[in-house]
Structure formats: structure tokens, C-alpha cells
Amino acid sequence: MGVRQSDVYCDNWIQNVTDMTHDRAVAPRRSAGEWLHSLLSMPAGAILLLFLVVQLGCIVAGLLFPDDFRYLSSANMGIMMRSVPVLGCLALGAGVLMIAGEFDLSIGSVYTLTAVIMALLVGVGVDAFIAAPVGLLIGATIGLGNGFLTLKFNLPSFIVTLGGLLFWRGAVLLINGAVQVRFDPNPVFNALFSGTIFGINAAFIWFIALCLVFWAMLHRHRLGNHIFATGGNRAAATAIGVNTGRIKMIAFAIAGFMAAFAGILATTRVGSVQPGQGAGLELQAIAACVIGGLSLRGGRGSILGVFLGVMLIFTITDVLLLMRAPGFYLDMFIATLIVAASIFNHGLDRRGAES
Amino acid sequence: MSLLELHNINKTFGPLKALTDLSFTVGHSEVVGLLGDNGAGKSTTVNMISGIHQPSSGYISVDGQRQTFANRRDSAEAGIETIYQNTALVDCLSISRNIFLGRELTDRFGFLDLKKMREIAMQVLESAVHISGIDSPDKMVGDLSGGQKQAVAIARAVFFKRRVLLLDEPTSALSVRETEALLNQVLKLKAEGVSSVLVTHNLYHAYQVCDRFVIMSHGTKVFDVAKADTTIEELTQQVVLT
């Protein structure tokens, strides 16, 4: 393109920028309805709104009835902060993989397996700072294995990782039998993963930090762009030169790695590993992702959504516990939330496809 | 010397003979219509030029240089971009992220320079024939119409200095108005020195913009004629009868 032409573009562009700044100056005067509409059309906007409404309701109720509804008590906040990170880390890994267009049902079993191996290593005298990376490495390797089988034989990852779920669950029993393993790391390790800093639980700080890292990776880094493209339209991504097989392998490895990391957090908090502790967690992690607006078909979602999905599950759990509701209400509530969230997201998907 | 040339290409898939001794050329600033009925070998030809398939014998040359396209990146580097209906863009990414997909502007650590990408995307949208209804490069591609998507894909190809566009059935999913806009875009690009190959069933659309027609049947070329020397009736006959 010639010099003069590009000058014209440049002028046009400046004109456009001026228009945009003008628009922006007008923007704050929008009505509440428009503001609500723009919030709802934002990725994870609806879930953010729901989360804020639930939080507001809980805080108001907590202030009005401080004795009957102890939502704001420091004990309750402490419990929340300690319980969120394990599912949160699992969901971050599962979420990235879902956006890349694949599933991992084996993360619950991998979570238990790596925790057992780490605890056994520490039991025979290996330092926890060596045992923990070994666990993370095993998690990532199992993830890569799932990815290899899925891509090499062109299988649905649902089937491959369903196999993984059963296989590694059995492996836990093979390695250690159906007994719990004590985990007794050095105090520094304990402080780093289950201590308290400025009144905030260390595991929760890890979770928030990982959310930020994942946000930067997924929404601000080239890798994230390729992950969204791979899950959104694999043929188009391949056509433009993205190595979609490699991207999926990376996403599988991340899912396995995060499962192992969740294992470290859970084991350090409790001080032991139960062989059955991971059962069902993979489904909860996927549920959190679905509630957070991730599409089962891949390509859609955000880290904010995953974070809010996890937080919402735990807030509702917490509210029901504080109201002393029987446990089965919990499952029914979460189930309703999942289905409602996917109806809503499906509506968004369809609207996108039609226009 | 022609921009793109196919020399005596044969292609077999096992026992199936897909292309037989196919040769044709695309000149500088020329719009060529690649016509033919279903199964004539048009798609195989497109896939070969874009590097998805490799010829069993014969070769492709660009500017007289013999080329071997092992994949799509090779053909893109030679200046050829294929725009398929459904595989051009990723619906769940914004326009600017789509334009830079696979060639993102990043810092040393791979973090995206979103501001600069947005600025250039804005330029790309401005420089293409006005794409109606697109006001911001932050718009999701999934919210665009079929015609707008194709226009964005073409604008992207032009921005990255492609010299030959292969448009595979470009008008089959477009409205009448969008078809007009697309054909005008092809003509404007021709004026700027970008050649196009329209692979299509629709003889009327091809007749509107093409300078030359290559008609294929049973995996080989059966007719190659300049627009001045033919009529749409003759083209129809050639496609139907051979």
C-alpha cells in the first residue's frame, strides 16, 4: 500500500479514535437498564450479577441476624477460605481444558493418587519440598498421557478420561490399600500451604494468585488466544497455523498439574490422605465451570467465570449449612444451578449462532 | 510470467484418480473462475494449491519459482491464502484477535500487545472495502453475518500481503446484497494488484467479475477461455455437457 494511502488510513483512524473518545465521554450517562444489559452481555456478566446479589443478601442477613445467621463471623469466613481452594484449583485446570474443547474426568482420581504418593514419600523421609514437585510432575504426566491417547487414537476425551478415573482410583488402592496415609511435612511447608497470613488462609492466597496467573495466561497471553481458537474452531485454528494438537496436550497437562496441586493443598490442610477423597470432585469441578459460563463444546468462558462458579457453589453450600438444612438440599440446589446456568448459556450460544 | 502456475499435475488417492494432467495459470491482477460440477476435482485443486494435499506428479510454481507446499503455512508464505466458508475465522474470538491469530503481536514473554493489535485491526477494517455494520474490532466474530465474516477474512489476507486469494464457494451462504459487496471487494483488490480464484458453482457470479474461466470435469481441464471470447451460455454448456 502506498504512502499516501496509508496517510489516509491514518487520518481515518484518528477520526475514529476521536469518535470513540467522544462515545466514551457520553457513556456514563446510560440508563440503568442499558447498564444491566451491557453487564449481562459481558462474558460471565450474568454469573457476576448473581454472585453479587447472593453476597449482598448474605451480608444483609448476616448483619440483621448476627446470632442466627453467622455468615460474617470470622469462623465462617475461615471455613470458606479453607474449603474453596481445593475445588478452585481443580476447576481452573478443568476449565482451561474445557475451553480447549476437551474433558478430564480423571482429575479427582489423579488428585488422590498424587496426594497419596506425596504423603508416602514424605513418610519414608523424603523432604516435602521434593515430594510435592514429584506429585505435580506425576499429575502433569498423567494429563499428557490422557492427551496422547485422545489425540493419537482420535477418541473422545470423555471416554479416555473415564478410563483414567477408574484406572487411577484402582491404582491408589494398589499402592496403599484402603487405609489413610498420614502426611507430616516440615513446618515451613505446612506454613506455606495451610498457614495464615494477615488473617487470610495461605491456600486461599495460592488460589487467588493462581486465578491471576491463569487469567493472564488465558486472556492476555498468546497461549490463551490459541487455547480459545483450538476449542472454538479447531479447523480454522489449524488452517491459520496454530498447532492445535500441541495446545490440547498443554491443556491436558495443566488439568493434571492443577489436580496434583489441589491434592497438595487438601493434604496439607487435613494432615492425611483418604483413599476415597477425590471421588466426585471431577464432576463438581466441571459443574463449577458450567455455572461459570464455560461451554461444553469449548471455546467459550473466562477465568472470572470459573472463579465465580466455584465461589457460588461454596456460598450456597455455606448458606444451607448455616441454615441447618439437611445435606440433600445441597445436591438439589447445585443441580438446579447447573441446569439453569446451562439453559442460560445455551441461549447465549444460540443467539450468537443465529445473528 | 504468470503469478501462479500449475504444471501437469496428477493426483491419486490410492486407486482413485482425482486429477489428471491439470495445468492452468493465474496472472497478475487477474480474477479467474474455476468452474465445474460436483466431483470435477475443484476442491482437490484448491487443497493442493493451499498445501493440504501434495501432487502425485507435476508441480506448482509462483513467479516462475517451483514450489513444494508441505502445509498451509508454506503456501501462505508464498503469498497464497485460501478462504474457506467455515474454517476462516474463530467465532468465539474478537475480530482483532482473529486477524492476529497465529501471528500475535507480543512482548518478549508472549503477552499480547492488545492495544497495538486493536489499532492495526481498526486500520485493516478501514482499508478493506467498507464492511457494513462492523464498527469495532472488539466485536465477536460469531456476531457477524456470513458476508461480514468473509470480508474480515479477506481483509486479513490482504493485510498480510497475500497476492492470490482462493475463494472456495464464496457466495453460497451469502445474501444478494452481501454477494454484491463481496464481488466488488474482489474487483477492488484486483485494481490493487491482488489476484483471485473464485471456485464456484454459480456461473452468474463468476461471470460478473472473472477475467478468465477454467472449467474442470473428471479431474482435468476441459475449457480455458477469456471472458471476451465466450458467453454465459457457452460456459453453461461446457459445465453441463462435459
Give ipTM to 2 decimals. 0.78
Q: Is residue A30 very low, low, confident or very high in pLDDT (cuts 50, 70, 90)?
A: low
Cα distance from B100 to chain A (closest Cα, Å)? 10
B103 Cβ neighbours under 8 A, 6+ residues apart: A241, B160
Whether the pLDDT of residue A255 is over 70: the answer is yes
Contact between residue A257 and residue A140 where contact means Cβ atoms under 8 Å apart: yes
- Count of C-beta atoms within a 10 Å radius of residue A198: 5
- Count of C-beta atoms within a 10 Å radius of residue B17: 15
The pair phi, psi for residue A327, each rounded to 5°, is -55, -35
- What is the residue extent of each domain of chain A? 100-219+232-277, 280-346
- Give which of B182, B93, B105 is closest to B138, Cα–Cα: B93
Which tens digit of pLDDT belongs to each residue from B119-133?
A: 888 888 776 656 666
CB-facing half-sphere around the CA of A334: CA atoms within 13 A: 23
Task: Print the SS3 string covering B217-238.
Answer: ECCEEEEEEEHHHCCHHHHHHH
Contact between residue B20 and residue B69 where contact means Cβ atoms under 8 Å apart: no
Residue B16's beta-bridge partner residues? B13
In this complex, is the C-beta atom of A353 within 8 Å of any C-beta atom belonging to chain B?
yes
Q: Is residue A45 very low, low, confident or very high in pLDDT (cuts 50, 70, 90)?
A: confident
In this complex, is the C-beta atom of A38 within 8 Å of any C-beta atom belonging to chain B?
no
Most confident of A134-138, A177-181, B2-6: A134-138
Cell numbers for A156: 473422545
Cell numbers for B30: 487477474
Is there a contact between A236 and B92 if contact means CB atoms under 8 Å apart?
Answer: no
**Phi-psi map region of B202: left, alpha, beta (phi>0 left; psi -120 to 50 alpha):** beta
In this complex, is the C-beta atom of B120 within 8 Å of any C-beta atom belonging to chain A?
no
pLDDT of A147: 95
Average pLDDT score over residue span B159-183:
84
Average pLDDT score over residue span B98-112:
87
- Please, where are the H alpha helices in chain B? 42-49, 72-77, 95-99, 114-127, 146-159, 176-191, 203-209, 232-241
Average pLDDT score over residue span A60-72:
86
- What is the residue extent of each domain of chain B? 1-79+163-242, 83-157
Q: Is residue A349 very low, low, confident or very high in pLDDT (cuts 50, 70, 90)?
A: low
Which tens digit of pLDDT belongs to each residue from A97-136?
A: 999 999 999 999 999 999 999 999 999 988 999 999 999 9
B177 Cβ neighbours under 8 A, 6+ residues apart: B147
Q: Is residue B202 very low, low, confident or very high in pLDDT (cuts 50, 70, 90)?
A: confident
**Which chain A residues have a beta carbon less than 8 Å from that of B114?**
220
Whether the pLDDT of residue A220 is over 50: the answer is yes
Is there a contact between B91 and A232 if contact means CB atoms under 8 Å apart?
Answer: yes
Q: Is residue B60 very low, low, confident or very high in pLDDT (cuts 50, 70, 90)?
A: very high
pLDDT of A102: 94
Q: Is residue A10 very low, low, confident or very high in pLDDT (cuts 50, 70, 90)?
A: very low
Cα distance from B182 to chain A (closest Cα, Å)? 19
pLDDT of A348: 62
- Count of C-beta atoms within a 10 Å radius of residue A35: 12
Arithmetic mean of pLDDT over chain B: 86
A145 exposed, middle or buried (CB, 10 Å; 0-12, 13-18, 19+)? middle
Is there a contact between A236 and B89 if contact means CB atoms under 8 Å apart?
Answer: yes
Task: Indicate the residue of B88, B111, B119 with minimum beta-carbon distance to A236.
Answer: B88
**Which chain A residues have a beta carbon less than 8 Å from that of B91?**
232-233, 299, 352-353
Q: Is residue A298 very low, low, confident or very high in pLDDT (cuts 50, 70, 90)?
A: confident
pLDDT of A354: 42
Q: How far apart are the first and last CA of chain B?
A: 30
More reliable by pLDDT, A134 or A178: A134
**Chain A residue closest in CA terms to B135:** A16
Task: Indicate the residue of A236, A241, A242 with minimum beta-carbon distance to B87.
Answer: A236
A-B contacts (CB, under 8 Å): 91
Average pLDDT score over residue span B187-196:
90
A137 exposed, middle or buried (CB, 10 Å; 0-12, 13-18, 19+)? middle
Task: Indicate the residue of B92, B112, B119 with minimum beta-carbon distance to A221.
Answer: B112
Interface of A with B in 214-253 (CB under 8 A): 216, 220-223, 225-226, 228-229, 231-233, 235-237, 239-242
The rounded distance, in Å, linking the Cα atoms of A164 and A105 is 7
A187 Cβ neighbours under 8 A, 6+ residues apart: none
- The SS3 call for residue A91 is helix
- Give which of A230, A116, A91, A108 is closest to A162, Cα–Cα: A108
- Residue from B46, B90, B118, B194 whose CB has the most chain A CBs within 10 Å, to mutate: B90
pLDDT of B131: 64
Most confident of A64-73, A204-213, B56-65: A204-213
pLDDT of A157: 92
The rounded distance, in Å, linking the Cα atoms of A224 and A100 is 9
Is there a contact between A13 and B126 if contact means CB atoms under 8 Å apart?
Answer: yes
The rounded distance, in Å, linking the Cα atoms of A60 and A257 is 39
Treating both helix axes as pointing N-terminal to C-terminal, what angle do A303-322 and A327-354 enclose, rounded to 10 degrees?
150
Contact between residue A59 and residue A71 where contact means Cβ atoms under 8 Å apart: yes
Average pLDDT score over residue span A290-314:
91
Arithmetic mean of pLDDT over chain A: 85
- The SS3 call for residue B80 is strand
One DSSP character per residue, A35-47 reads: HHHHHHHSTTHHH
pLDDT of A350: 55
Q: Is residue A26 very low, low, confident or very high in pLDDT (cuts 50, 70, 90)?
A: very low
Please report, rounded to a whole number, the percentage of residues in chain A having pLDDT higher than 90: 50
More reliable by pLDDT, A113 or A49: A113
Contact between residue A125 and residue A185 where contact means Cβ atoms under 8 Å apart: no
Cα distance from B193 to chain A (closest Cα, Å)? 10
Cα distance from B175 to chain A (closest Cα, Å)? 13
pLDDT of B142: 84
In this complex, is the C-beta atom of B88 within 8 Å of any C-beta atom belonging to chain A?
yes
Is there a contact between B93 and A235 if contact means CB atoms under 8 Å apart?
Answer: no
**Which chain B residues have a beta carbon less than 8 Å from that of A226?**
101-102
Please report, rounded to a whole number, the percentage of residues in chain B having pLDDT higher than 70: 96
In this complex, is the C-beta atom of B175 within 8 Å of any C-beta atom belonging to chain A?
no
Which tens digit of pLDDT belongs to each residue from B27-53?
A: 999 999 999 888 888 888 998 998 888
Q: Is residue B138 very low, low, confident or very high in pLDDT (cuts 50, 70, 90)?
A: confident
What residue type is A105 in one-letter code?
L
In this complex, is the C-beta atom of A2 within 8 Å of any C-beta atom belonging to chain B?
no
More reliable by pLDDT, A168 or A69: A168
Whether the pLDDT of residue A225 is over 90: the answer is yes
Task: Indicate the residue of A16, A223, A229 with minimum beta-carbon distance to B90.
Answer: A229
- The SS3 call for residue B59 is strand
Average pLDDT score over residue span A266-290:
90
- The SS3 call for residue A169 is helix
Task: Indicate the residue of A9, A225, A233 with minimum beta-carbon distance to B112.
Answer: A225
pTM recorded for the entire structure: 0.83
B1-79+163-242, CATH topology level: Rossmann fold (3.40.50)
Task: Indicate the residue of A1, A16, A299 with minimum beta-carbon distance to B92.
Answer: A299
